[in-house]
C-alpha cells in the first residue's frame, strides 16, 4: 500500500510538470503573470463576477489597461507600475470582450504586450 502511495505521488509530481495549457486560461478566479514584456496568458476567460489577478513578474514594471479605458489595474493597485510580486485583483461584473495592454510595452491596437479578456460566454 505504501509503495502504491509513493508511486502515485511520484506520478502526480511528474504529471504536474505538464500543467501549462498555453496562452489561454479560463476559470472563476484567474491569475495572469506579467512577464518582461508579455502576459502569461493572452486570452483570458472568466464568468460574470469572476476575478482576474494581474501579478507583476518581471524586472520592468507592468500593468493591464483596457483599450476602451473601462478598467485598469491602476484602479485597484493605485499605480500603473506593478513590480515583481505586486498584485492587482479586478472583479468583472459586466459581460463583454476587452482588449487589454501594458501602457509601457504594448498599445491599444494589440501590439506587443497585449491580450484579450472575455467576461461571460465566449459565444457572447
Partner 1 sequence: MKWGWLLLLAGTAMTVGACAGPPEGEASSAALGDPATDSPSVSTGETLQVPRDYPTIQSAVDAANPGDMILVNRGTYHEEVQVTTPGITLRGVDRNEVVIDGEFQRPNGVSVLFADGVVVENITARNNTSNGFFWSGVRGYRGSYLTAVNNGVYGIYAFDSSDGLFEHSYASGSPDAGFYIGQCDPCQASITTSISEWNGLGYSGTNASSELNIVDSVFRHNVAGIAPNTLDGELLPPFHNVNVVGNLVHDNGNIEAPALAFEWAAQGNGILLAGGGDSYVARNRVVNHPQSGIAIFPMLDANLYMSYDHQVVENVVEGSGLADLTLGGPSDSGNCFEDNEFTSTLPAALEVKQPCEGLRFPALFEIGSTTAQLGRLFESGVGQQPDLDLTAVPRPGPQPNMPDAATAPVMPAVDVFASTRPDVDAIAMPEMPSDLEVTQQKGINIMGVSFASAAGVFFGLYAYVLPLVLYTSWVVLALWDLAKREDLTRGTTIAWMAAILIIPFLGVVAYYVFGRSTIPVWQRWVLMAGGMLVYLLFLGLGMVVGGIV
Contact residues: partner 1, CB under 8 A: 2-14, 16-18, 20, 22-23, 35-38, 42, 57-61, 81, 104-107, 111-112
CA contacts within 13 A on the Cβ side of 45: 9
- Asked if 98 contacts 91 with a C-beta cutoff of 8 angstroms, the reply is no
Which one, 23 or 49, has the nearer CB to partner 1?
23
Dihedral, 33, 51, 64, 115 alpha carbons, nearest 10: 80
- The least CB distance from residue 17 to partner 1, in Å, is 3
Residue with the three cell numbers 513590480? 83
- The least CB distance from residue 91 to partner 1, in Å, is 26
Which one, 13 or 69, has the nearer CB to partner 1?
13
- What the block records as the C-alpha cell of 23 is 496562452
- The least CB distance from residue 86 to partner 1, in Å, is 13
Cα 72 to Cα 59: distance, rounded to the nearest angstrom: 20
Which one, 13 or 123, has the nearer CB to partner 1?
13
Which one, 29 or 111, has the nearer CB to partner 1?
111
Q: Tell me which DSSP letter residue 9 carries.
A: H
- The least CB distance from residue 25 to partner 1, in Å, is 11
Amino acid at each position: 500500500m505504501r509503495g502504491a502511495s509513493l508511486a502515485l505521488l511520484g506520478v502526480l509530481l511528474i504529471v504536474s510538470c505538464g500543467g501549462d495549457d498555453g496562452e489561454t486560461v479560463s476559470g472563476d478566479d484567474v491569475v495572469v503573470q506579467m512577464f518582461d514584456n508579455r502576459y502569461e496568458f493572452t486570452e483570458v476567460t472568466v464568468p460574470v463576477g469572476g476575478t482576474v489577478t494581474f501579478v507583476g513578474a518581471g524586472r520592468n514594471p507592468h500593468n493591464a489597461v483596457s483599450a476602451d479605458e473601462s478598467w485598469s489595474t491602476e484602479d485597484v493597485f493605485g499605480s500603473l507600475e506593478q513590480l515583481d510580486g505586486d498584485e492587482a485583483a479586478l472583479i468583472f461584473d459586466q459581460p463583454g470582450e476587452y482588449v487589454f495592454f501594458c501602457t509601457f510595452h504594448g498599445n491599444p491596437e494589440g501590439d506587443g504586450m497585449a491580450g484579450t479578456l472575455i467576461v461571460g460566454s465566449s459565444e457572447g
